[in-house]
A and B are shown apart, each in its own frame.
Chain A
């Protein structure tokens, strides 16, 4: 099993550019999440999905969009990149419907916006 796979691992963007971070999982988990991690801060939830066709905003959704057309895939779209979006992004999935189960994380995508 590959688990949760994220691409790309590293990316440099110019201000105003757009890009999509890809995330796929092969564990048949219904719950999927996108987090960002900034130095000295806890993980912040951007968006999450409870199943195909259903997405919802987390704590810090501004500047981002997601879609969930299949159980496996949960891409994160950055529109009009800004320096404040420089961060490490983690996709995660879980079998739990109540945040009482283990999260399985992808390896992370390090994004720099210049």
Chain B
């Protein structure tokens, strides 16, 4: 079966750096997404990786290793507003989008 694993919950301190990991086992691969979802709100797009390596976008970076079936989202200079769930999703060989359950990130002052 197809599976995406990410930690259920993480805690970090304001101003620090946090890395949220995502591992996937899917039938093929056509890209990996990260979305941010604040409590009670809709998911919003953060990043898309289709090639190996690091994509940087301001305080957020996303890394992909296709050979390891692994990605991480790196958040720098954490702010209280970064408290949210972070969803990892993979497009498989049939171009179906498979979603992880999300990682709830709690930021403490």
The yes or no verdict on A and B being binding partners is yes
Instruction: Assign chain B's interface to a size class.
Output: 20 to 34
Contact A108 B101, CB 8 Å, known A98-B95, A99-B95, A100-B31:
no
**A35-43, A69-77, A78-86 - interface stretch:** A35-43
Using an 8 Å CB-CB cutoff, how does the interface string of B74-88 with A read, 1 for contact, 0 for none?
000000000000010
CB within 8 Å of B: which residues of A? 40-45, 90, 98-108
Q: Give the docked Cα–Cα distance between A43 and B100 (Å).
A: 8
> Would A100 and B50 count as touching, CB distance under 8 A?
yes
Select which of A99, A102, A106, A108 is within 8 A of B96 by beta carbon: A99
- Besides A42-B87, A99-B91, A101-B48, 19 more A-B contacts (Cβ < 8 Å) are A41-B101, A42-B4, A42-B100, A42-B101, A42-B102, A43-B87, A43-B99, A44-B99, A45-B97, A98-B30, A98-B91, A99-B31, A99-B97, A100-B30, A100-B50, A102-B33, A105-B43, A107-B41, A108-B40
In the assembled complex, B98 has its CB within 8 A of some CB on chain A: yes
B27 contacts A by Cβ under 8 Å: no
Minimal beta-carbon separation of B61 from chain A (angstroms): 18
By a CB distance below 8 angstroms, the chain B residues around A90 are: 42-43
Q: How far is the CA of A106 from the CA of B43 in the complex (A)?
A: 9
* CB closest residue in chain A, given B101: A42
Bits for B43-71, please: 1 = Cβ < 8 Å to A, else 0. Answer: 11100101000000000000000000000
